[in-house]
Amino acid sequence: MALMSVNTTEKITDNYPQMVFYYLTIAIQIYCIYHLFKNGKTIYWIFVILFLPLLGSVVYLVTQVYSRKNAETIQSNVSQIINPTKKIKDLEKQLEFSDSYRNRMNLADAYFETGDYQNAIIHYKVMLENKVQNEFYPRKQLVICFSKLEDYDAVIKHAERIKNNQEFKNSTSEFYYGFALFKTGFENEAEMHLKSIDRPYSNYEERLELAKFYLETNQNEKAKTLLEEMASEANYMTKPNRKLFRSVINEVHNLLKNNF
C-alpha cells in the first residue's frame, strides 16, 4: 500500500510541469475568448483559439491585444507628426469645452512646438491673467517666443519679471535674455547671461551663437576655444545627434577655418 502511494506521488511530481502548462493554456484561452466577446472580434478567432490552443491564443494576444494597443499609440504619434494641425484642432476643442489653465497651456505649447509663435503668445498671455497660477512658466515661454520673432524689447520685459527665479538660472530663456540684451546694445550685461548655457555636450545651437557673440565683440580667443571644444565634441556624438546638429557642426568648422 505504501509502495502504491509513493508511486502515485512520483507520477504526480513527474507530471506537475505538464499540469501547470495545461491549466495555464486553458487560462489563456479563457482570457482570449473573454476579450474576443468583450471587444466584438471576428467569430473565427474562437476556432483558432480552441483548435490551436497555445499557438492560437498567442497569435490572438499578439495581433489583437498587444499590437493593437501599440499600433493605436504609434498611429496617434505619427498622425501628430504628419498632421500637427489635427492635434491643435483637438486641443482647441478641448479648450472650447473646458476653458481651464491646463487646457490652455496644452494648446499654447502645441502652437509653440509647431513654430506658430504668434498664436502661442496669445495663449501664454491669457495664462498670465490667472493670478492663482505661478507666472514663471508662461513668461519663460514668452521670452523664447518673442526672441524667435526678434522682438527683443518684449524678451527683456518678460525676462526681467522672472530673472531672479532659480529656475531661470542657466536656462535657455536666460540665454535668449542675454541675446536680447546684446541686440539692444547692452553688451556687458549680455555676456553673463549668454554664458549660462555653455555646458559641454549640450546646447549646441546656443553655444554657436555664443561663439558668434565673442567674434562680434572681438573676443577671438574665447571664440576659438569654444569653437574648438564644439568641434572636438562632434567627434564623439552619436549618429542621431550628428545628423540632428549637422548644420551646427558645419558652421563651427567654417568659422574656425575662416577666422583662425
pLDDT of residue 83: 55
pLDDT for res 14: 54
Question: What average pLDDT score do residues 127-152 get?
Answer: 93
pLDDT of residue 21: 74
Class of residue 132 by CB neighbours under 10 A (exposed 0-12, middle 13-18, buried 19+): exposed
Give the mean pLDDT of 16-31.
Answer: 76
Using the predicted structure, report yes or no on whether residue 146 has a pLDDT greater than 80.
yes
Instruction: Answer yes or no: is 56 within a domain.
Output: yes
In tens, the pLDDT along 97-115 reads 988 999 999 999 999 988 8
Mean pLDDT computed over 209-227: 94
* In a domain? residue 64: yes
33 lies in a domain? yes
- Mean pLDDT highest for which of 6-10, 57-61, 67-71, 194-198? 194-198
Print the domain residue range for 28. 15-79
Mean pLDDT along residues 183-208: 89
Three-class DSSP labels, 218-243? CCHHHHHHHHHHHHHHHCCCCHHHHH
Res 78: pLDDT: 45
> How far is 121 from 141, CA to CA, in rounded Å?
8
**What is the band of 40 on the pLDDT scale with cuts at 50, 70, 90?**
low
Mean pLDDT of 112-135: 91
Residue 228 has pLDDT above 60, yes or no: yes
138 found inside a domain: no
The answer to whether residue 70 is domain-embedded is yes
Q: Quick one: average pLDDT of 136-156? A: 95
Report how many domains make up the chain. 1
Average pLDDT over residues 170-197: 90
135 domain-assigned? no
Q: What is the mean pLDDT of the chain?
A: 83
Q: Full-prediction pTM beyond 0.75?
A: no
- Arithmetic mean of pLDDT, 24-50: 77
- pLDDT at residue 145 above 60? yes
3 state DSSP class of 100: coil
d(CA 130, CA 199): 35
215 in helix, strand or coil? Answer: helix
Band (pLDDT 50/70/90 cuts) for residue 87 is: confident
The reply to whether 68 falls in a domain is: yes
Dist CA 158 CA 136 (whole Å): 10
pLDDT higher than 90, residue 221: yes
**Confidence band (pLDDT; 50, 70, 90) for 42?**
low
The three-state secondary structure class of 163 is coil
**Domain assignment of residue 50, yes or no:** yes
Ramachandran angles phi, psi of 164, nearest 5°: -90, -5
* pLDDT for position 72: 46
Place of cell 555646458: 199
pLDDT at 41: 66
